[in-house]
Amino acid sequence: MEDKEKKLRQINQQLKALVSGEDDYLANLSNAAALLYNELEKVNWAGFYLMKEGELVLGPFQGLPACIRIKVGNGVCGSAVEDEKTYVVEDVHQFEGHIACDSASESEIVVPLYADERIVGVLDIDSPIKERFDDIDKKYLEEFAKIISKESKFQMDALESLKSRRSVRSFKDKKVEDEKIIEMIDAARLAPSGKNIQPVEYLIIQDEKKRKEITEIASGGDFIAEAPLCIAVISKKCEHDIEDGSAATENILISAKAQGLDSCWVAGYKKDYSSGIEEYFSLPEDYRLISLLAIGYSNKDPEPPAKKSIEEVIHYENFDLEREV
Ligand SMILES: Cc1cc2nc3c(=O)[nH]c(=O)nc-3n(C[C@H](O)[C@H](O)[C@H](O)COP(=O)(O)O)c2cc1C
């Protein structure tokens, strides 16, 4: 037993050395899979499945080719996500709904992988012998998963982020990290700009009292008081400042989602309260408010709102008057 613990402790030390100072999650997961596969005895598959658009998709691994997509709740991996706990399975053939990728697998351990308290995937290890894994493996492999989470930035790609973004109006009491704020502003400043004038600027408001005062002026944005971060997108008035400000606003929302944050756009422009907010921030006369953004970690996932279908909104070559909608 002591030898086993010593080995697992050693593997975790090796992992720390491998991932230290590196935040690319694919690189870290790839090295982590190779480390486990080569260092653990009696293992025929070691790797990761990652959450993408609500299901698990095969990530970096070592071993035979494996099944690519697993629905939440299916098999050992899907169950670990649904129940948010580690599964130690002594005999995979006894596990209801077990997904057989490698017929040699007899036992399995699956550990959830977290980033900012949300599950981003699972660590999955298979063995060709029964009862290969126990509570000691569980303890050290959960630590293994934590080491990866601590060092790695789990970011969605832009398409997944924009498709999964929903307006969220309820937030956890958890500060948004400074580097994530900078990443959002970086995405905003790179947005397209009419004649490349770049008139848009950003006010970062984290102070609780200020956020509350903002909600007293901006009706319809009460949740700004609850969100740990409010970004006011403002613009120097010019020919295309509304379009520029809106493009920058959208880039912030997409960048927020890609970094595990949620948000809601609160109208800033053309509202009765717009001048009240502009006065509150003492904006110069030639600036205006474009939008107020509530940003933070979601407390509960909202019901997806109804969206028009592609067929309802697309026209080819000309406006199609005859089309049935
Ligand atoms: C210009 C604009 C202004 C908005 N203003 C508000 C607002 O004042 N309060 C609010 O709760 N949501 C506001 N929203 C969010 C919309 O209600 C939301 O985008 C819409 O219901 C669709 O939901 P989704 O964002 O989840 O796709 C605004 C969105 C836009 C684009």
Using most ligand atoms within 8 A of CB, pick from 252, 264, 308 the residue to mutate for ligand 1: 264
Q: What is the C-alpha separation between 224 and 280, in angstroms, rounded? A: 15
By CB neighbour count within 10 A (0-12 exposed, 13-18 middle, 19+ buried), where does 301 fall?
A: exposed
Q: What is the domain partition of the chain in residue ranges? A: 2-151, 158-296
Of residues 243 and 323, which shows the higher confidence score?
243
Judged against a pLDDT cut of 90, whether residue 184 lies above it is answered with yes
Using the mean position of ligand 1's atoms as its centre, give its distance from the Cα of residue 7 in Å: 53
Binned at pLDDT 50, 70 and 90, residue 155 comes out as confident
Using the mean position of ligand 1's atoms as its centre, give its distance from the Cα of residue 267 in Å: 7
Q: What is the C-alpha separation between 86 and 94, in angstroms, rounded? A: 17
Binned at pLDDT 50, 70 and 90, residue 53 comes out as confident
Range picked from 40-44, 51-55, 154-158 for highest mean pLDDT: 40-44
Contact (CB, 8 A) for 156 and 148 = no
Using the mean position of ligand 1's atoms as its centre, give its distance from the Cα of residue 176 in Å: 21
Using the mean position of ligand 1's atoms as its centre, give its distance from the Cα of residue 221 in Å: 10
Locate the DSSP E strands across 17-96: 45-52, 55-63, 69-71, 87-89
Q: What is the C-alpha separation between 35 and 17, in angstroms, rounded? A: 11
Question: What's the whole-model pTM score?
Answer: 0.87
> How do residues 95-138 score in pLDDT, each as one tens digit?
988 787 778 899 999 999 999 888 999 999 999 999 999 999 99
Of residues 281 and 100, which shows the higher confidence score?
281
| CA torsion angle 46 15 154 89 (round to 10) | 30
Judged against a pLDDT cut of 80, whether residue 166 lies above it is answered with yes
Q: What is the C-alpha separation between 184 and 259, in angstroms, rounded? A: 9
Show the ligand 1 pocket: residues with CB < 6 angstroms: 166-167, 169, 220-221, 264-267, 305
pLDDT at 219: 87
C-alpha Rg value of the chain to the nearest Å: 24
Short-list 62, 71, 131, 142, CA closest to 102: 62
* Ligand 1 atom with least separation from CA of 271: 8
For 33-48, what is the mean pLDDT? 97
- Arch. (CATH architecture) of 158-296: 3-Layer(aba) Sandwich (3.40)
The matching CATH number, chosen from 3.30.870.10, 1.20.1440.230, 3.30.450.40, 3.40.47.10, for 2-151 is: 3.30.450.40
Judged against a pLDDT cut of 70, whether residue 25 lies above it is answered with yes
Q: Whose CA is nearest to atom 1 of ligand 1?
A: 267
Q: Return the ∠ at Cα 239 (arms to 235 and 243), rounded to 5°.
A: 60
